[in-house]
Structure 1
Amino acid sequence: MRKHILIVLGLLVLAGVGIFVWLGWPDKAQLDVAAVTGQRPTISEPRSQIIPTVKVAEAVGWPAGAKPTPAAGLTVERFADGLDHPRWLYRLPNGDVLVAESNSPPRGHSFVDRVMRYLMGRAGAGVPSANRITLLRDANGDGKVDLKSVFMSGLNSPHGMALFEGQLYIANTDALVRVPYTEGATKISAKPELVIKLPGGENHWARNVIPAEDGRTLYVSVGSASNIGEKGLDLEHRRATILQVWPKEKRSRIYAAGLRNANGMAINPQSNQLWTVVNERDMLGSDIVPDYLTAVELGDHFGWPWYYWGGYPDKRVEPANPQLQQYSKRPDYALGPHVAALGLTFAGDVKLGQRFATGAFIGEHGSWNRVPPSGYKVVFVPFGPRGWPVAGAKPVDVLTGFLNADGEAQGRPVGVIGDRTGALLVADDVGNVIWRVTAAGQGGARQTAAR
């Protein structure tokens, strides 16, 4: 009897191994990341998995004196440290920098939620949200923070910030709120006023807000609640969208849809047009689907969850939506699979020399669903004179070295902005640092901001 039991157990083990092999677990990339970047990326056949490939870079932080590696001709130094999961940055007119110290709201207690808590904990995102905005001031212009002050507290997973018509708008995970702003203030104690409610929490929790090019409205990005709508499409109401908000009237509409997680948004100064970076779907293999950078117009639909990259069907999604296929807009520029593109800012305010004079800087937070890992760096996409990515151009590394030789995350870049001197500031939510990138010899431009 015992012999038969052992035989059965052995067969079950072999069957389990066979299933894992059949699933291709863990799936490994067959293409270099560069092949899945640019205007015409390689879109290979999907390799769908029941058990996802998981390759989470364990967060270890920066050893004493260590820092990322800048591109040739650039230097990098600490602008501010000792922060608590800094995610997003915003520069005020007087040169002060606001940083949202924020994280996901508490997750549920399902098996998936517990797994995600574990994975996010390994990645450095498991800490409770500080729920505050901190002000950083470089009073003497030497490229180092002289004053660090709690600007606002008691928020709800805040992320995007925007000054508009004398009011500071903050994108909490569940609401767009605003407070009066006085130039030079180091603290705001006013109770935030509700502008519009937003679908909160769930999967992609971070919201962003920027003024629209019309000077009258705001754009607010809202990520999806799931990977491909597997929790039910009713939960995705007004999610995976960019909303257009009329702040005076406190009303909004869907400006564009089918954007799984359009976190970074910016107006291209060349064309005065909205652009965004988007995190695409997981669990189709290590080679797809590419995250992307794209222009966005009113009424655009980029296909999520039914289609990706302009019409490739995701057969996992039910019910199907065949009518949408011909209307799914193809993005303008692929950034590579699973790079987790989050931060976006255009050259103009950022002055890092001729090589980086025209184009977009992008913070790639880094993959969890790819072997080997992708992202974990800041890249630059060069644009031509007409305001579009240069034909055939690939992303240029600006700041690397966030992964150490053992594949551990010393840092993870998120928000990117220019400071008042033309340097690039990069929020690092694992290193708890704001990095400052300058052209060699630029250093701290000793300009005194108006107070």
Structure 2
Amino acid sequence: MRTQRWGFFLVLAFVAIANAQNLRIQDVPAAAASQKNPYAGSASSSASGAPLYAKRCAGCHGKEGQGSGNIPSLKSEAVTSASEGALFWYITHGSPQNGMPAWIKLPAQQRWQIVSYVKTLTSAAEPAAQAAASAPEAAMASKIKAPPPQPPFTDFRYEAPGRTRKITVADLPPPYATKSAGNGPDVVQRPANVWPQAPQGFKVEQFATGLDQPRLMRRAPNGDVFLAETGSGKIRVYRGVAGDGKAAQSSVFATGLSAPFGIAFYPPGDQPQFVYVGNTTSLVRFPYHSGDLKAQGPAQHILDLPAGGHDTRDVQFSLDGKTMYVAVGSASNVDDPDTHRGEKNRANILAMNPDGSGLRVYAAGIRNPVGIAVNPKTGEVWCSVNERDGLGDNLVPDYITHVSEGGFYGWPWWYMGAHQDPRHQGKRADLKDKVIVPDVLLQPHNASLEMTFYDGRQFPAEYEGDVFAAEHGSWNKAVRAGYEVIRVPLHQQGKASGEYQDFLTGFVLPDGRPWGRPVGVTVAADGALLVSDDGSNTVWRVSYSGKR
């Protein structure tokens, strides 16, 4: 674990080194810059640096150091022209003005080995590699004739497992840079020869089929998987996995619910006593004992929730079980809560006691926090958010972020910091400097839904603690985006650094018609990732059989 933590800081180190406009290589002390690499010329040194780089740096900067989108390339002039001593000094002492911490605790030999390997990336093959790095991403064979998107923005034609993306506030266009599109999904039946695509080493199978709008999923402490089948008003339970990847056993836990979505077990721990369910207009709970496949009694009403508008209601508990969090999206796209009563207690994450008393706003200005999750290691509340529509193809980015108690995230007057929505020009200037910029900006209109932290042991070690999120797919974008599952690396530190990766793609046909729409994600007891898809009414199982 300690060596994995070093990787996070090394990534930050090379981000700073590769940022040529900020790097002041002349600030390196002359004695340090002239220091010789004691392993220079040693093939074994660069060879030893290769796996260190692959494990700790390649996830963001690429196998060849080429970068991706606006993630810096290690082939920039700042790196290629720097001496090995200068690079070693930067890793060792850091560069606060570039956000790079000192990492003197990393063994000196490993620092030199990584420097040796990075230098091999900028050798004789550099011109060709740089040309490849600057070339646009390869697109799938598509009948869509629209021009390619300008990075860091993308669309379904360029989504592919393992591609890394990073959007920053500096990348945002002005409002109305493009027309607001009306491009709703016309979902078609999945062709027999089409299947979701995952990174190399992963296998995708059907876990459950023939469902009626399968949406959010949560794993019970005993390993059973609870699924909200929103279309039928049911909660289903799945247990185990058969040899063909399908659930070994299934049961209907509860019926007669109103568009159920959120599911949570209370109290936290191995022996919960209740299953909480977020209906669209109420929060209820069922008595529960570990292993129950059917509810042992009727639903108990906890509290009413606002009706209409965005209708998903996720629910989670703090690690100590003292606080219950409920996500309630806005009633509209951008109505002003100061003048529209229907927006009261909406576009918020609410907090309360487990019995529904003590209701308060935990965080505000979050247009539609569809999925909420509590980091099992840190206890932080996180959410996956659908931002507003109508400002053009590339505004406003959806996002995934940890949520600060008392935080304000902008809706409807502001977005992504001090950017005012032109439809509310001149309003609420008092909030301008209070708007929090989220941790990870996603493609605008992606419709980011459920998120989960990977707590399994089946996937490679670098996935530990990372976020997976389901991107339901756009309607307000000229060429579709989303329709995939993404991974947000947290670098074994519980902290995002802004980038995310395409993980499970292929839900849109080359002609632009989607056949699948990911909604829910949860980690099964065996460490596989389960993905609900309300386009094909399927739950997919993604397992790993490659090298760890």
* TM-score bracket for the superposition, by shorter chain length: 0.7 to 0.9
2:175–2:422 contact (8 Å) kept in structure 1: no
Give, in angstroms, the shift of residue 48 of structure 1.
Answer: 7.5
Q: Describe the shift of the 1:186–1:249 C-alpha distance in structure 2 as closer, same or farther (beyond 3 A).
A: closer
1:62 aligns with 2:167: no
Q: Secondary structure at the match of 1:266?
A: strand
Counterpart in the other structure of 1:449: none
**Alignment-mate amino acid for residue 249 of structure 2:** L
Deviation at 1:440, TM superposition (A): 2.4
Distance 1:380 1:197, change over 3 A: same
Q: Decide which of 217, 224, 227 is 1:96's aligned counterpart.
A: 224
Residue 265 in structure 1 maps to residue 372 in structure 2: yes
8 Å CA contact 2:264–2:277 kept in 1: the answer is yes
Q: 1:369 to 1:243 in 2, by over 3 A?
A: same
Match of residue 31 from structure 1: 150
Amino acid at match of 1:149: S
Name the CA shift for 1:176/1:318 in 2 (closer, same or farther; >3 Å): farther
1:366 aligns with 2:495: no
1:267: how far off? 1.7
Q: Deviations over 1:414-438 (max 9, x none)?
A: 1100000000000101111000001
**Structure with higher RCO (Cα < 8 A, 6+ apart):** 1
Whether 1:148 and 2:250 are equivalent positions in the alignment is yes
CA drift at 1:41: 5.5
The answer on 1:440 being equivalent to 2:542 is no
The CA deviation string for residues 240-268 of structure 1, in whole angstroms up to 9 with x for no partner, is: 00011202363311100000001111122
Residue of structure 1 equivalent to 2:354: 247
Task: Show CA shifts across 1:104-146 (max 9, x none).
Answer: xxxxxxxxxxxxxxxxxxxxxxxxx311111122266874212
Give the length in aligned residue pairs. 386
Question: Is the helix fraction higher in 1 or 2?
Answer: 2
1:39 Cα shift? 4.9
- Return 5+ residue gaps in structure 2 as ranges: 1-145, 155-164, 268-272
**How far apart, CA to CA, are the structure 2 residues paired with 1:190 and 1:28?**
57
Q: Shift of residue 203 of structure 1?
A: 2.0
Q: Which residue of 2 aligns with 1:217?
A: 323
Report the Cα distance in structure 2 between the residues aligned to 1:217 and 1:87, rounded to whole angstroms: 24
Question: Match of 1:131?
Answer: 233
Q: Which runs of 5+ in 1 are unaligned?
A: 1-26, 103-128, 443-451
- CA pair 211-351 structure 1, distance change in 2 beyond 3 A: farther
Q: 2:333 aligns with which of 195, 213, 227?
A: 227
| Aligned equivalents of 2:426, 2:287: Cα separation in 1 | 46
2:520 corresponds to which residue?
Answer: 415
CA change 1:44–1:346 in 2 (3 A) is: same
Quote the Cα distance in structure 2 between the aligned partners of 1:384 and 1:243: 29
Aligned 1:157-176 pairs, distance under 5 A: 157-165=259-267, 166-176=273-283
Q: What is the DSSP-based 3-state SS (H/G/I as helix, E as strand, rest coil) of the residue aligned with 1:326? A: helix
Specify whether residues 257 and 156 from structure 1 end up closer, same or farther in structure 2 by C-alpha distance, changes over 3 A only. same
Determine which structure has the larger strand proportion and give its number: 1
Amino acid at match of 1:402: F
| Distance of 1:56 and 1:301 partners within structure 2 | 30
The 5 Å alignment of 1:395-406 reads 395-406=500-511
Select which of 340, 344, 368 maps to 1:237.
344
| Contact 1:132/1:151, CA 8 A, preserved across alignment | yes
CA distance in 2, matches of 1:417, 1:397: 17
Q: Distance in 1 between matches of 2:533 and 2:278?
A: 20
Distance 2:315 2:393 in 1: 31
Indicate the residue corresponding to 2:397 in structure 1.
290
AA of the residue aligned to 2:151:
D
The superposition leaves residues 349-401 of structure 1 with CA deviations (integer Å, 9 ceiling, x where unpaired) of 364213423421111000000021110000101112432113xx632111000
Task: Give the % identical residues.
Answer: 39
Match of 1:44 in 2: 173
Whole-Å separation in 2 of the counterparts to 1:72 and 1:34: 24
- Equivalent residue letter for 1:364: E
Greater Cα offset, 84-93 or 378-387:
378-387
Give me the whole-angstrom Cα distance separating, in 2, the residues matched to 1:87 and 1:324: 35
Indicate the structure (1 or 2) with the bigger Cα radius of gyration.
2
Instruction: Report deviation, 1:321.
Output: 1.1
C-alpha change, 1:289 and 1:420, in structure 2 (3 Å) is same
Amino acid at match of 2:386: N
Deviation digits for residues 266-297 of structure 1 (CA, Å, limit 9, x no counterpart) = 12234321111111000100011100111112
Tell me how far apart the structure 2 counterparts of residues 94 and 141 of structure 1 sit (CA, whole Å).
21
| Structure-1-length-normalised TM-score | 0.80
Alignment check: 8 A CA contact 1:351 1:357 kept: no
